[in-house]
Amino acid sequence: MHIPDGFLAANTWVPTWVISIGGIGYCLKKVSNILKDKMIPLMGVMSAFIFAAQMLNFPVAGGTSGHLLGGVLAAVLLGPCAGAIVISIVLLAQCLIFQDGGLTALGANIFNMSFIGAVGGYYIYSFIRKLIGDKKRVVIAAGISAWLSVVLASSMCAIELAISGTSPLNIALPAMVGVHVLIGIGEAVITCLVVGFVVKVRPDLIY
DSSP string, 97-110: HH--S-STTHHHHH
User: Which of 207, 170, 192, 179 is closest to 77 using CA atoms?
Assistant: 207
* Region for residue 164 given its phi and psi (left: phi exceeds 0; alpha: psi -120 to 50; beta: otherwise): alpha
Domains of the chain: 10-205 (1.10.1760.20)
What integer is the mean pLDDT of 115-119? Answer: 96
The per-residue pLDDT of the chain, averaged, comes to: 89
Is pLDDT above 70 for 63? no
- Residues 152-179: what's their mean pLDDT? 93
Q: What is the mean pLDDT of residues 100-127?
A: 94
Q: What is the pLDDT of residues 180-191, one digit of tens each?
A: 998 899 899 999
pLDDT at position 190? 92
pLDDT per residue as tens digits for the range 73-101: 999 999 999 999 999 999 999 899 888 88
pLDDT at 136: 65
pLDDT range class, residue 62, cuts 50, 70, 90? low
Residue 50 has pLDDT above 70, yes or no: yes
Name the nearest CA neighbour of 1 among 86, 58, 98, 66: 66
